[in-house]
Structure 1
Amino acid sequence: MTNEPMNAAPDDDVLLMNAIRNKDKKVFETFYKKYYRQLFVLAYRYVGNTEAAEEIVHDLFINIWNKASQFNIQYSMKSYLFRSIVNASLNFLKKEKNEAAKQRGYINLQQPEDPEEDRQKEEELLLKKLEEALELLPPKCKEVMYLSRFGKLKQQEIADQMNISLKTVKNHLTYGFQKLRLELGKSGAILMSIFLLLKMILR
């Protein structure tokens, strides 16, 4: 659509637009059949969707029919049609992209977090609290607990490495467990702490 003079367009296009302005349905139907397929293929190349391509082409023809009096083709009807389809297709893609982004944002707000991800976060927090509680233990007890919890050593291996008796290792683990249970209980992490510590004591 333009305000430039109509005589820039070929004579047959001028006659076509005059006929459409006069609501000549037969001329418009011929015009529609002549260009529909080419325009549909062009739109489909951009949007990759049959229904969307059909809607884009139909909208263009409806717009031409309804607003014929406002059209002022500069060069040729064909170039105008093709340019209009390209622009409409690009606008469609832009709109679809924006809608998809909004939908993703809405889904992210509505959907709860992944239960597995929640569980991992909770366990990481509890492990952090466990490490902080371990730092409060006496040095020897803390070393035994660390070798058991993080070093993955069995009780006899800890006794051999620290040059202490197996009974002393067990005493350190029992004492450490009691102190950690008390400390972790203050933060509400007692059940998980019991599970974690039982795993390292009852090897």
Structure 2
Amino acid sequence: MPDFTITDTELWSSIQSGDSRALQSLLDRYWVRLYKTALKLTRDPEVSKEIVHDVFLNLWQRRDKLEIESFPNFMLTAVRYQYYNRARLTKAPVTLVDNYDKFNNSSIANEGEVRQIELELVNNIRGYILPLPKRCQEIFLMSKTEHLSNSEIADKLQISKRTVENQLSIALQYLKKVLKNNFLLLISTITYLVLVK
């Protein structure tokens, strides 16, 4: 039974000092929740166990670099990142679409869950890019949510392809900057953007 008299922050401080018992305590505390999240995504018990194991392995390996404000959010984001990363490596198609018919049922275990995660990620991205100029936002969203090529965007907006490329570069650099302190959100965002390119 996990010991809840010790806070996540106290456990994390011990982990950063190299205390593997604290890592085991954190694993005991979050294992069931993370496993259930992974299982909803993969529908595969073995893969789900591997995903949770990888989350804790990465946590341990990166303990001297990570800054974690909210463990529940961090851990759930980490599971989703591991899932997306595995989907990328196995080349399973993961795209934001408005028509469920575009999904290949045999390649995605849980369409609704994947779509929900994608929508959450896109909404996060929309929120983060609000400070950018309207045209920059528009070009970025046309590229990443409408899946238009740079040439298609240029034609549609009556601007040069070079301008489109510059605006996309500005948006990506901006996202990297604002998300630099949230490593997992940055990685999951960039992974998503690569997958829908």
Please confirm whether the aligned pair reaches a TM-score higher than 0.5, indicating the same fold: no
Higher helix share: 1
Alignment TM-score, normalising by the size of structure 1: 0.40
Which of these two proteins has the greater Rg computed from alpha carbons? 1
Considering Cα pairs closer than 8 Å and 6+ residues apart, tell me whether 1 or 2 has the greater RCO.
2
